[in-house]
Every structure is written in C-alpha cells, then in structure tokens.
Amino acid sequence: MSKLLKCLYLTLMLVMCMTAQANSIDSSTSPLKAAIDCDDASDFSDRLEGLELPLSTTACDAHLQRKLRDYLGGGSASTERMLGRANQYFPIFEYYLEKHGMPESMKYLAVAESMLVPGAVSSARAAGLWQLMPATAREMGLRVDGTVDERLDMYRSTEAAVLMLKDLHQQFGDWHLALAAYNCGPGRVRRAIRAAGGHTYYPKVKPYLPRESQRYVAAYVAAAYTVNYYGDYGLTPADYLLEDSVASINVYRRLSLSRLANAIGLTSKQIRKMNPSYVRGYIPVSKRGYRVRVPLAQRQAAQEYVWGRPNLVLFDQLDDLEPAKQLAADLDFEVSKWLFGCSSVNLRHQPSIAQQAVEEDMYLGFFSAYSALAMN
C-alpha cells in the first residue's frame, strides 16, 4: 500500500510540475501579456497612436488593460461574435458618420456600449447598439413605445447617436468630454467642469465625473484596439449575414412579421431577429413608412407579398436618364405634359438648357421613386 501511495504521489508531483512549466511558458510568450506589459509599453503605445483616434489614454491605464483582457483573453468567444457583427454593421456606421462629417473611428463606441448586440438592453433601460435611453431617444426623434422601439433599428438609432455625438462635441469642443457626456449626460459633465474650477482640460475634469464615465475613454480605446489587432491574438470573426446580403423594403400599412416570414420561407424567429425594433411582431400603419429587413434572396418574394402583386419586375436604381425615361413612358408619364399640359412634340419652341435640366431631374426623381414595375 505504501508503494502505491508513493507512486501516486510522485505522479501527482510530476503532473503539477509540467502544468506549472506550461503555464510559465504561456505567460511569458502570451501576445496579450506582451501587448499590455507596462514594463515595456512602447510597442503597444505605438499601436494605439497608429489608430489615430481623436482621443487617447495611457497604455498603462488599469481599466484599459482590464478591458483588453476581457476582449482578448477570457471573453474571446463573445469577442469573435462581436467581430462578425462588426463586419455587418460597420459599413452602416461609416455611412452615417461620413454623412454628418464625423470621425469614422466613432464607430468603435458602439462596441464599448453593446458589443454590437442590436437587442441589448441594460439594467438602466438603455437599449440598442448605441445604448440610448428612452427619453434621449425620443428627444432625437425616435419612436419608443410598446409597439416600436427605434433604438433597436440599426439605421435610425445610428443616425440619432451620430447626431447626438456631433452635438456634444460642438458643446464641449473636446472628444473626451463629449464621450463622457454621451455616457453620463451633458449636465453631469458641466457640473464636473464647475467642480474643476472651470477647466475644460479632460485630466482636470475626469476626477469629478462618475466612476463609469471616468473609465469610458479607456473602454472606447480598448474596443478600437481589439477590432484592429484581434488577429494577433488568434481570434477570428464569426460568420454573420453581411449587410450587402440584406434588402430593406419600406412598409406603410400594418404588416405581421410572422405572416411575411411564412410567405417568403423564413421562420418567425428569423424575421424578428432581423427586425428587433418591432416589439410586438408587427409593423404599424405609418405615412412616413417603416423599414423591414429581409435576406436579399427573398427580396422579390417579400415585395410581392407587401405590395400584393405577383408580377413584379425589379430593376436597379441608376443615375441613368434613358432607363428613367423608359420607365416613365411605360407608366405613361411625361414631364412636359405635367409641366405644360401638352406633349413635347406639340411645343412650339425647343426647351431651353435650364428646362432640359429640370426635366431630366424630374425623370430621375420619378425613377428613384420606384423599385419595381408590375407587368401584365
């Protein structure tokens, strides 16, 4: 019995030694540890500077390091899912940021806010990719009620968040303070500025901000670093349906999402996942119209169901005058008849260059108003 116990003891010690050695090797060569090692942070700092973010934090910021370990270490599976969603959502973010003259790098803020989960809801009732509060969203023109929550609409919420960030930056003139105001509200930031003796230099204001807001810049920088350097840590984006594989259709009448799904060969779960803003599973009547998203492959089937026409011919929208005129002719529309009450062949004088330009713009506008033509 004593020999058996001795053998077991030696085996256990050998396993423990091998495990300790492996852990030592892993910790000494881990790219994550090397990237955020404050004893030699020059390479990491160079990487942060290379991102050309409009705001910064020190490489040795404790919260930055903690967030990086969350993203690139233990939470790598959720990070890979986030990276897959980034491939889907970032083109939308970039479009609205460019539209409103904002830094493209503001797209990383949504990663810090929601990990790019479109249906994310916090304990404080903030919701969506950009984690907008109900009152804030309504102030930005979004509908938030028991039927439609446009904070969960990636297009409407993104433009609202971009406009909000633009306004905050105009108010404070500094991206550090603008992001803090996005997190805790502009009133709290103004109180912090007063407590700092009127200084607007962020390091002086930071101690008077709420703790979460003090860490907000570091969370943003960690998100930006992760999205740009994930490959160095062995991470791979998960596969997601990319936005160029999705079609959007404007709907003006009441529409059941489950009936639409059944008509185009999707499950109710699939269609609701693609359209989380319709809280009760239907689109209400609206003069402005609501957007419903479907896979591109089901676009025509969805349009036929929504428009009630089984004979649609879809066509691409181009800034091309000839197809615009052809469509107008097919629908018996002529600009001169609309302008002058008679056909162009009956006009006594040739149209001027200015009139031609007006007519061309009207034809192109007419063309852009149609996505399909119902054929007999």
- Burial (CB < 10 A; 0-12, 13-18, 19+), residue 1, is exposed
DSSP character at residue 121 = B
Phi, psi for residue 83 in degrees, rounded to 5: -65, -35
DSSP character at residue 244 = G
d(CA 300, CA 315): 11
Amino acid at 186: P
How many CB atoms within 10 Å of residue 362?
A: 17
Q: At what angle are helices 76-99 and 216-229 packed, to 10 degrees?
A: 100
d(CA 83, CA 103): 20
Tokens at residue 54, please? Answer: 């409009």
β-sheet bridge partners, residue 293: 248
Which are the catalytic amino acids? Answer: 113
- Checking 47-55 for CB contacts under 8 A at 24+ apart, the result is 47/225, 47/229, 48/221, 48/225, 51/105, 51/224, 51/225, 51/228, 52/105, 53/105, 53/108, 53/220, 53/221, 53/224, 54/103, 54/105, 54/106, 54/175, 55/175, 55/176, 55/179, 55/217, 55/220, 55/221
| Residue found under tokens 């061309």 | 360
| Residue found under tokens 């052809």 | 326
Amino acid at 47: R
- From the list 368, 14, 55, the residue with the least C-alpha distance to 203 is 55
User: How many residues are there in the chain?
Assistant: 376
